[in-house]
A = this chain, B = another copy of it.
Amino acid sequence: MAVFPPPLKRLIDELTKLPGIGYKSAQRIAFHVLQAPEREAVALAEALVSAKRKISYCSTCFNITDTDPCRLCQDTRRINDIICVVEDPRDVVALEKTKFQGSYHVLGGAISPLEGVGPDQLRIKELLKRLKNHEVKELILATNPTLEGEATAMYLARLLRGIVPSITRIAHGLPVGGDLEYVDEMTLSKALEGRHQI
């Protein structure tokens, strides 16, 4: 016999649809919700629906935003003629923790034939249009250092050669605080290749 009352079962089922939430975690969260004050459940419910309804993509850089253009594209202090191309809005978050002051272009993924993602599924047409309408000095390819990210960077580099004066790729090497002994050989090879005078 079903032990959970239907409203609880439904909540657990909905929670297990979230990434990284298994049945046990969903159960734990559901019981937490039952014990917490009602306003907490209501606040989370409202935040879910409001985030979903109010957030869309910036029509310029395709980062997620609740205004269009997004806050970063509206910010006149940003350097407009340097565009950093990333796969995902989360990459923008990571880069914003650095001192980077340029603009972004979010592709919405990387080329991956295995997952059926080709150049047409990414915001590459939109990048071309943007490069045509605004003069850009440098395009920084900051896709991930994975097979798919590298393939995407190579594809873009070939496609845009001649259109943008400078196309760069972020460096590969040892992570700061990393240990030579434990780093994989691909990274170490890249670190050696990328060596520079000090």
Contacts from A to B (Cβ < 8 Å): 1, 3-8, 10-11, 13-15, 17-21, 25, 27-34, 38, 40-55, 64-67, 70-72, 75, 89-90, 92-93, 96
Contacts and interface: CB of A to CB of B under 8 A. Distances in A.
Contacts of A19: 28-29, 32
Contacts of A43: 14
10 contacts: A3-B92, A3-B96, A5-B55, A5-B64, A7-B50, A11-B50, A31-B90, A33-B48, A34-B51, A44-B48
Copies of this protein chain in the complex:
2
A156 to B, nearest CB: 23
Contacts of A8: 51, 55, 64, 66
A89 B7 CA distance: 15
A51 B30 contact: yes
A96 B93 CA distance: 46
